[in-house]
Structure 1
Amino acid sequence: MIAPVAGDVPVLRTEGFRRLAYVRWQDDQPQAHPPVVCVHGLTRNGRDFDVLARRLARGRSVYCPDMLGRGLSDDLGDPLGYTNPAYAADLVPLIARTGAAQVDWVGTSMGGLIGMILAVLPGSPLRRLVLNDVGAVVEGAALLRIKEYLRETPAFASLDALEAHLRRVHAPFGPLTDAQWAHLAQHGARRREDGGWVPAFDPAIQEVMADLDGEDIVLWPLWEALRCPVLVIRGAHSDLLSADTLARMQATGPGCTVLEVPDAGHAPALMAPEQVEAIAAFLEEGSGA
């Protein structure tokens, strides 16, 4: 039985050390493949990857962190510290903890951007990169949509009410079972002192998005600097990664293998068997097993 083991690593910020929580998945078989680091989207947490991690942890270790300000990790006192370059630095101690010379990477949205940042650095340990519904252009209209639902961090009287909120906000994840939605709610909630429930992220995260005005974020130089193999998963109805951007990504930089999910938007939940198996097959290529 493969089960998650909780851990944490200290990360250094200007305000001092902060605790980065994670769960590690690993079976008792010889480690035939490089470790995998799975990094979630803007307001989510590492337990989003439980289904995928359980599958990938056959002959390898899988590390799923909660980025600072999310899940069980510490919040920051300065909201301006919630940036992708800072997150990339935060993950260096976790990569070191794997003890491996190379790691594979699965990143949903924000987690994919962090992976791209790390992958282009000289001497990067990233061997293979999976980008879940993110790429060389982040559509401004999608950022405005995300900014809008972050304006208020609602409190709920019950976990069931919070789950209903998540089902509405994250409907583009695609078709999920009741058990899967309950899982996302359970691990995506924090209990307040007054007994209410709130989403498990620091509401100050939205402050770094305050100046967004609908302009696209263009990252072609970053994409074209990549050298590792890339799998891009795109929700067919995504408003963050356009079909035109993905077509250009296939023809430039490292190129990419593509999996389009027909019944999802931004971003596929990576819980469906076909999504899980596609990622597993991609990461097992060239691993020497």
Structure 2
Amino acid sequence: MMREGAVRWLSPIGFFTMRWWEWGPADGAPVICVHGLTRSGRDFDTLAQALADAGRRVICPDLPGRGASDWLPDPMLYQPPTYITALSHLLARIDGPVDWVGTSLGGICGMALAATPGQPIRRLVLNDIGAFVPREAMARIRDYMGHEPVFPDLTTLEAHLREVHAPFGPLTDAQWRHLAETSARRADHGVALHYDPGISAPILSQEAQALDMTALWSAVRLPVLVIRGAHSDILLPDTAAEMAARPNVRLAEVPQAGHAPALMDPAQIALVAGFLGE
């Protein structure tokens, strides 16, 4: 059964609350699952339930400005160092070894933490994110940010998600409806996506350019599973292959998916569960 949790974390402008969704036994070996740029911890409900059934304690935070977590009054704080700070408070609360599943932005945070001396991550899953993101992909992200429509009802919001997140891969009607229900917040005259529109401010404040995390990646020495959507423009084949050349890295490609596989399909869940179970 899903439970709720929260931690107070210190930002440069004060304390805020980051909330999370928790599954499985409280004494189970912990797994932290961190979502992508405009998503929330509820994206991992299916994966979390499966891991919890195997005895794991699974914690799925809503990053600052997303889901049930506090919005930040300064939108320029919506950048990876802020998220890493908040997540570090969560790691301190757990105070022990953890496994990490990170989709896109959640994987960037995981890489940064895994590259830090004394870090507690045991095994790392990077879901469609790697050491290098090309400028063209960053430009695409920039182009769709800053447009936060209000939808008349949940059905219309779901249709929007089916279009913009088609690269998640084939999902059932029930899965799309679940994503819609957990992505919605009440707004004037309808429903909106469950994040602070201000999260786009840092992205829109500058021209799109490639994101090179090679130096960060070079410091990650723990076991890593890299999952790539076969049609992804974020994690290119050459980047994934270069990452997988290291002995501590395993690469898996998900057909019929782009950025980023939803990790709802039984085969994808088995892939993650098998790696974390080693």
The two structures have a TM-score, normalised by structure 1, of: 0.93
Maintained 8 Å contact 2:84/2:113: yes
Instruction: Report how far residue 16 of structure 1 moved.
Output: 1.4
Q: Does 1:159 align with 2:157?
A: no
State the one-letter code of the partner of 1:161.
T
Q: Does 1:52 align with 2:50?
A: no
1:142-157 maps to which residues of 2 (within 5 A)?
A: 142-157=137-152
Q: Does 1:213 align with 2:213?
A: no
State the one-letter code of the partner of 1:45.
S
1:284 alignment partner in structure 2: 277
The 3-state SS of whatever aligns with 2:267 is helix
Instruction: Report how far residue 59 of structure 1 moved.
Output: 1.5
Instruction: Report how far residue 96 of structure 1 moved.
Output: 2.5
CA deviations on 1:48-87 (whole Å, 9 max, x unpaired) are: 0001001111212000000000001010000111111221
Q: Give the counterpart of 1:222 among 206, 216, 224.
A: 216
CA distance in 1, matches of 2:49, 2:3: 12
Maintained 8 Å contact 1:25/1:61: yes
The 3-state SS of whatever aligns with 2:59 is strand
Give the unaligned 5+ runs of structure 1: none
CA deviations on 1:131-175 (whole Å, 9 max, x unpaired) are: 000000012212211211112110011011111111111110000
Q: Give the counterpart of 2:126 among 124, 131, 148.
A: 131
Runs (4+) of structure 1 moved beyond 6 Å?
none
1:26 alignment partner in structure 2: 24
2:110 alignment partner in structure 1: 115
CA distance in 1, matches of 2:92, 2:157: 36
Instruction: Report how far residue 274 of structure 1 moved.
Output: 0.5
1:239 alignment partner in structure 2: 233
The 3-state SS of whatever aligns with 2:253 is strand
Maintained 8 Å contact 1:143/1:212: no
Maintained 8 Å contact 2:145/2:204: no
The 3-state SS of whatever aligns with 1:206 is helix
The 3-state SS of whatever aligns with 2:55 is coil
Aligned-residue identity in percent: 53
CA distance in 2, matches of 1:257, 1:82: 31
CA deviations on 1:190-212 (whole Å, 9 max, x unpaired) are: 101x3411111111111111145
CA deviations on 1:69-116 (whole Å, 9 max, x unpaired) are: 0001010000111111221110122123334x2000000000000000
The 3-state SS of whatever aligns with 2:70 is coil
CA distance in 1, matches of 2:32, 2:122: 11
Q: Does 1:202 align with 2:205?
A: no
1:13 alignment partner in structure 2: 11
Q: Give the counterpart of 2:264 among 271, 278, 282.
A: 271
1:140 alignment partner in structure 2: 135
CA distance in 1, matches of 2:243, 2:91: 27
1:171 alignment partner in structure 2: 166
CA distance in 1, matches of 2:200, 2:254: 28
Q: Give the counterpart of 1:86 among 60, 82, 89.
A: 82
CA distance in 2, matches of 1:203, 1:108: 20
CA distance in 2, matches of 1:137, 1:212: 18
Give the unaligned 5+ runs of structure 2: none
Q: Does 1:63 align with 2:59?
A: yes
Task: Report which stretch shifted further, 152-161 or 11-20.
Answer: 11-20
CA distance in 2, matches of 1:136, 1:212: 21
2:72 alignment partner in structure 1: 76
Aligned alpha-carbon RMSD (Å): 1.3
The two structures have a TM-score, normalised by structure 2, of: 0.96
Maintained 8 Å contact 2:35/2:106: yes
